[in-house]
């Protein structure tokens, strides 16, 4: 059972391996939403995510014999690092099965804690099946990443810290993959103050808990598709489901496109790197139809590789019209390129890339195509640049940007 005594025990135990992640007040998101928005920055943990809490507390409850057998788990990355780090502290051998799609940074960091990593399966659920078979074959102790009450109790220590720091919190937004974090946070929050609303946030492409709650029983999605790899789970925890049914107040689902602009907002306004799964609760802020409430958004992790970061920044700038591409047709004669460049310069546009295509028409005297990729300040500035091109007799056409 998930009891207050157990939560208090776990909250003290995890202090041995966690950094103090004080709430961060967000002026930007508070102004945007009309609420008081605070972030719980678990992306700043030593292992880059909250998962070390549940992993360490679970391993602390094992017997010496269970630890001596060796530990095994399956994870998309953050639980893997938590188990590997905790196992290292206890001097236990750890094997981690990770999906083949796991970002390289998570694989390398897991190995850096001394764990053996096996890449297997395209999604977490396939990795988990393989890890369970290895546990049975080799007599290893399996540490489930979420469907375990001790693991959930360890994750719930986050709620203890939130309420201790902000006793008057109204809403807590929590990311949902398999449901371990959501279970721990929602159960403890309700034990301490039943008036606190706890909202689970899932990627729209992996909304296994939402579908299960709608069905009234645990269901398995046929497939998952989301850039939030840490929450790409097909089936929520069966042991956890009754607790989630009872204690979660609502579920919000987030499209991948919303995570892209949320990443940009966090980098620009808070100078923080938050991985896609951790950004779920940031993107969910605008979905809450409330005002003048104190809302805590849990940033569950920050383990994102540089290539993914680069891609998300580029797509975010395009979504916000801060980078766009316009196509114009020009006579193939000297001076035309300079004329267009002068119009753009006077409109304070910054040219990123030019593509000059002489073969768009068989009559080169009539027209060649010039595609200009530009940097702008945003939507209004983009429109101003396009209007200036139109005013000067050009017929600009917005086309897809390829960086």
Residues designated catalytic = 51, 300
Q: What is d(CA 382, CA 390) in angstroms, rounded to the nearest whole number?
A: 13
**Region class of 394: left (phi > 0), else alpha (psi between -120 and 50), else beta:** beta
- Helix 157-165 vs helix 52-61: crossing angle, to nearest 10: 120
Q: Are 372 and 337 in contact (CB under 8 A)?
A: no
From residue 378, give the alpha-carbon distance in Å to each of 140, 166, 316, 384: 55, 36, 11, 10
286: nearest Cα among 226, 199, 210: 199
From residue 172, give the alpha-carbon distance in Å to each of 32, 38, 175, 282, 292: 18, 10, 10, 11, 14
| Residues comprising the chain, all counted | 403
Please tell me whether residue 156 adopts helix, strand or coil conformation. Answer: coil
Half-sphere exposure of 337 (CA within 13 A, CB side): 14
Q: Are 125 and 235 in contact (CB under 8 A)?
A: yes
């Amino acid at each position: 059972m998930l009891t207050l005594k157990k939560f208090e025990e776990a909250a003290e135990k995890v202090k041995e391996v966690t950094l103090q992640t004080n709430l961060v007040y967000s002026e930007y998101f508070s102004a945007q939403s009309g609420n008081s928005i605070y972030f719980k920055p678990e992306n700043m943990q030593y292992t880059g995510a909250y998962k070390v809490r549940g992993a360490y507390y679970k391993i602390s409850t094992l017997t010496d014999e269970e630890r001596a057998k060796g530990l095994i788990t399956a994870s998309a990355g953050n639980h893997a690092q938590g188990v590997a780090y905790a196992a290292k502290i206890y001097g236990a051998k750890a094997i981690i099965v990770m999906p083949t799609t796991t970002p390289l940074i998570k694989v390398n960091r897991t190995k850096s804690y001394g764990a053996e990593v096996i890449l297997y399966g395209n999604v977490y659920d396939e990795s988990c099946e393989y890890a369970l078979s290895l546990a049975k074959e080799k007599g290893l102790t399996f540490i489930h990443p979420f469907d375990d009450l001790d693991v959930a109790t360890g994750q719930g220590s986050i709620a203890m810290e939130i309420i201790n720091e902000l006793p008057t919190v109204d809403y807590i937004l929590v990311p949902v993959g398999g449901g371990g974090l959501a279970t721990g946070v929602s159960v403890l929050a309700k034990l301490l103050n039943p008036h606190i609303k706890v909202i689970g946030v899932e990627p729209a492409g992996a909304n296994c808990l939402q579908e299960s709650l709608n069905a009234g029983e645990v269901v398995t999605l046929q497939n998952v598709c989301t850039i939030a790899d840490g929450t790409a789970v097909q089936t929520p925890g069966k042991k956890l489901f009754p607790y989630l049914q009872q204690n979660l107040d609502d579920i919000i689902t987030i499209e991948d496109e919303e995570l892209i602009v949320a990443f940009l907002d966090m980098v620009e306004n808070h100078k923080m790197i938050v991985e896609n799964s951790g950004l779920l609760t940031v993107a969910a802020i605008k979905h809450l139809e409330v005002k003048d409430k104190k809302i805590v958004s849990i940033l569950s992790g920050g383990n994102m590789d540089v290539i993914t970061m680069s891609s998300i920044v580029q797509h975010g700038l395009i979504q916000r019209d801060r980078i766009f591409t316009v196509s114009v047709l020009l006579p193939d004669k000297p001076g035309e390129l300079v004329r267009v460049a002068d119009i753009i310069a006077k409109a304070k546009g910054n040219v990123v890339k030019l593509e000059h295509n002489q073969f768009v028409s068989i009559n080169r005297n009539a027209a060649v195509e010039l595609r200009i990729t530009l940097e702008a300040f945003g939507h209004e500035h983009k429109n101003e640049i396009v209007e200036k091109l139109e005013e000067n007799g050009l017929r600009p056409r917005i086309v897809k940007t390829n960086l």
